[in-house]
Amino acid sequence: MSNQGKVAFITGANKGIGLETAKGLGKQGIAVVIGSRDEAKGKAAVEKLKAEGITNAEAVKFDVTRAEDHQAIVQHIQEKYGKLDILVNNAGVALDEADFGAPGGANTTSTVTQDILRKTFETNFFAVIALTQALLPLIRKAPTGRIVNLSSILGSLGLHSDPKSPIYSMKAFAYDASKTALNAFTVHLAQELKDTPIKVNSAHPGWVKTDMGGPAAPMELSEGGKTSVELATLADDGPTGGFFHVGEALPW
């Protein structure tokens, strides 16, 4: 599958996993549009990409929770590119106060506030759906559209309910539930688009050394974008409606 002329929009891509995803796609010759709440940080990220030889990159001021920004990015991509080949819904928040290193792990279910729940779902779920719906007409114009939803293994109900799983004692309820809901969106949208060239998948990037993942994470930042890049560049016979980590299917 040729990447010539392809364009990708990545939310929350001025740093961390989003920037690594932009780097991975850019190195394959795909034009990358970086969405960043802070315009200056977005431009700095583009300079980093250019320093690595990725010249077809730009930054746009974009807050995933602002409907005005959704309208603006649709107009921008329509006017400049005429289509969107890849959407990576990367932006997300983790607002639960959970100490997974505590004895017995952590579980915020009985203590998480309604405010934290609403703010978490607004960014990790509702905004993703609204943005995807807004951009879908442009993705339909691409020969082989790809939608990648950044989920987490912490969204797996199968693993959360298994006392033998490695995440059984790691329950940050607002974050986990938002990713479970996001996975449902992936399954439902993939089924709706099953007779089109568009593929929709959820990605678990791994536990990565980012601002969110922290310094104790086992994966280096350079590895963080691998799953997103793989799913964004799937061949025509690749999967849709799945949940993956570096090629391995995960349980819902």
Q: Of residues 9, 81, 175, 185, which has the active-site annotation?
A: 175
Pairing between strand 57-61 and 106-107? unpaired
Cα gap 3→231, rounded to integer Å: 14
Question: What residue ranges define each of the domains in the chain, with the CATH number in brackets?
Answer: 7-93+125-157+175-249 (3.40.50.720)
Cβ neighbours around 61 below 10 Å, total: 17
pLDDT (0 to 100) of residue 215: 54
pLDDT of 221 higher than 60: no
pTM of the model: 0.94
pLDDT tens column, 125-148: 999 999 999 999 999 999 999 999
- Respond yes or no: is residue 168 known to be catalytic: no
pLDDT tens column, 77-130: 999 999 999 999 999 999 998 877 677 789 999 999 999 999 999 999 999 999
pLDDT (0 to 100) of residue 155: 97
pLDDT tens column, 60-73: 999 999 999 999 99
